[in-house]
């Protein structure tokens, strides 16, 4: 059970602040059908994390059992890098600690990194994508590499133009085509390599703990129809595309790429356990704030329990002028009681493709 009263208090504050909006967003998720009709649109932020209720009912930590409370505190103070990647907060309001650059395999690899500056991630996310890429290469030895697009910045936080991509768990992967990508073609589902894209979907669900995938419904329909013709199990396909808890969700501006959100059980659980310990490392005891119209340094300082002088020093500001969409590092005096505390994830079994009956 959760014994730390400060941690439980942070959790209850997060539940009160975020529970209603998350529940509403989760309830509204709809995926494509096998008919040519457009489902309701889902945006990036609506791929809500699991209900906070799971944490309150949890009997103990599951993904960081190798770390006792004392050992966690010691390593946080003395050797935080040894803890590995830590995904703090939510994908639409969070940051990264101990982020790693997505590995570049070099020429001829099973994947390629498109935008290295915004391709920082967690070990769990990298392992999942690399596993899927290697699987796809085994099936298509001469196929194009997996094109890994934006994931997160070095510290996470707001990554223009995305709403999410803040905790190293959201990854953009370009669609596959028979030849060079037709950038000027809007209807990507008509020119893509259907077989390879479908194979990539199978590889993704086999090699990672996927929370959800955003993809335009027109592309979904083509993949669904192709998979049926290949003899894939209809019930399994429906669990991916059509069930109330489907993995796929329609989103605008996702006609040329997969937006995959992974569960990172260890990185997320570490963040949950470290929430009350953050003040022990002042350089990490920060919040990331994106400036909106009307914000002032005084208002931001009050909101986070910081000070104007600390804000100016942390962001190398010589005056009080702010820019809309500017991201500020906000030094905190103690645990952040207004920051979202993401739950310990409940990781469901992977939706592995059933074996086809032997003829």
Domain boundaries, the chain: 1-281, 285-331
Nearest-5° Cα angle at 15, 90 to 58: 90
Quick one: pLDDT at residue 45?
Answer: 63
Quick one: pLDDT at residue 46?
Answer: 64
- Mean pLDDT confidence for 334-344: 73
Whether residue 182 has pLDDT greater than 80: no
> Of 163, 194, 162, which is closest to residue 176 (Cα–Cα)?
194
pLDDT tens figures, 252-285: 899 999 999 999 999 999 999 998 899 888 888 8
Quick one: pLDDT at residue 343?
Answer: 75
> Of 248, 246, 264, 348, which is closest to residue 90 (Cα–Cα)?
264
Q: Are 1-281 and 285-331 in the same CATH fold?
A: no
CA distances from 49 to 123, 221, 247, 331, 348 (A): 19, 26, 13, 26, 13
Quick one: pLDDT at residue 352?
Answer: 92
Whether residue 48 has pLDDT greater than 60: no
> Of 233, 176, 275, 244, which is closest to residue 39 (Cα–Cα)?
244
Confidence of residue 310 (pLDDT cuts 50, 70, 90): confident
Asked if the bond preceding 161 is cis, omega within 30° of 0, the reply is yes
Whether residue 52 has pLDDT greater than 60: no
Q: Which residue has the higher pLDDT, 52 or 320?
A: 320
Quick one: pLDDT at residue 326?
Answer: 83
Residues whose CB is less than 8 angstroms from the CB of residue 48 and which lie 6 or more positions away in sequence, other chains included: 22, 23, 25, 26
Quick one: pLDDT at residue 38?
Answer: 55
**Backbone region of residue 242 per phi and psi (left: phi > 0; alpha: psi in -120 to 50; beta: other values):** alpha
pLDDT tens figures, 20-47: 333 222 222 233 334 434 555 666 666 6
- Mean pLDDT confidence for 81-101: 94
Whether residue 287 has pLDDT greater than 60: yes
192-206, 254-268, 331-345: lowest mean pLDDT where?
Answer: 331-345
- Record the tokens describing residue 323, joined without a space: 């820019």
C-beta of residue 248 within 8 angstroms of C-beta of residue 222: no
Whether residue 330 has pLDDT greater than 60: yes
- Top CATH class of 1-281 equals alpha beta
The whole-model pTM stands at 0.81
- Mean pLDDT confidence for 321-332: 85
Quick one: pLDDT at residue 344?
Answer: 79
Task: Name the CATH code of domain 285-331 (choices 3.20.20.80, 2.30.30.100, 3.10.350.10, 3.40.50.11740).
Answer: 3.10.350.10
- Record the tokens describing residue 310, joined without a space: 């600390």
Average pLDDT of the chain to the nearest whole number:
83
C-beta of residue 40 within 8 angstroms of C-beta of residue 28: yes
Q: Which residue has the higher pLDDT, 72 or 51?
A: 72
C-beta of residue 342 within 8 angstroms of C-beta of residue 89: yes
- Mean pLDDT confidence for 109-129: 96
Judging by DSSP bridges, how do beta strands 286-290 and 327-331 pair with one another?
antiparallel
Confidence of residue 14 (pLDDT cuts 50, 70, 90): very low
C-beta of residue 291 within 8 angstroms of C-beta of residue 326: yes
Nearest-5° Cα angle at 219, 186 to 35: 120
Q: Transcribe 83-99 into DSSP letters.
A: G--EEEEETTEEEEES-
Confidence of residue 50 (pLDDT cuts 50, 70, 90): very low
Confidence of residue 179 (pLDDT cuts 50, 70, 90): confident
Quick one: pLDDT at residue 346?
Answer: 84
> 64 in helix, strand or coil?
coil
Rounded-to-integer distance, Cα 344 and Cα 62, Å: 9
The CB-side HSE value for 283 (13 A sphere, CA atoms) comes to: 6
């Amino acid at each position: 059970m959760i014994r730390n009263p400060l941690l439980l208090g942070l959790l209850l504050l997060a539940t009160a602040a975020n529970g209603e909006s998350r529940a509403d967003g989760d309830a509204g998720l709809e995926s494509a059908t096998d008919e040519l009709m457009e489902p309701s649109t889902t945006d990036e932020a609506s791929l809500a994390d699991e209900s906070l209720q799971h944490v309150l009912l949890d009997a103990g930590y599951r993904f960081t059992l190798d770390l006792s409370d004392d050992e966690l505190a010691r390593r946080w103070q003395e050797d935080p890098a040894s803890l590995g990647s830590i995904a703090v907060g939510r994908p639409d309001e969070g940051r990264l600690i101990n982020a790693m650059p997505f590995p570049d395999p070099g020429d001829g690899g099973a994947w390629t990194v498109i935008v290295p500056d915004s391709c920082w991630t967690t070990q769990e996310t990298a392992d999942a994508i690399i596993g899927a890429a290697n699987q796809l290469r085994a099936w298509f030895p001469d196929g194009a590499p997996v094109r890994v697009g934006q994931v997160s910045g070095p510290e996470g936080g707001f990554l223009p133009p995305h709403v999410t991509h803040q905790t190293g768990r959201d990854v953009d992967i370009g669609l596959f085509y028979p030849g060079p990508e037709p950038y000027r073609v809007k209807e990507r589902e008509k020119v893509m390599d259907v077989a390879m894209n479908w194979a990539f979907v199978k590889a993704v669900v086999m090699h990672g703990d996927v929370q959800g995938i955003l993809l335009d419904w027109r592309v979904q329909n083509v993949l669904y129809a192709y998979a049926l013709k290949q003899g894939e199990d209809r019930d399994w396909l429906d669990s991916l595309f059509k069930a109330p808890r489907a993995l796929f969700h329609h989103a605008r501006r996702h006609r040329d790429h997969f937006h995959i959100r992974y569960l990172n059980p260890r990185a997320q659980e570490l963040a949950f356990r470290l929430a009350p310990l953050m003040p022990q490392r002042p350089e990490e005891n920060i919040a990331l704030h994106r400036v909106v119209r009307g914000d002032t340094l005084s208002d931001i300082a009050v909101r986070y329990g910081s000070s104007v002088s600390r804000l100016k020093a942390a962001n190398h500001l010589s005056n009080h002028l702010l820019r809309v969409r500017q991201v500020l590092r906000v030094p905190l005096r103690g645990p952040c009681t207004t920051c979202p505390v993401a739950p310990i994830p409940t990781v469901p079994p992977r939706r592995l493709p059933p074996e086809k009956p032997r003829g």
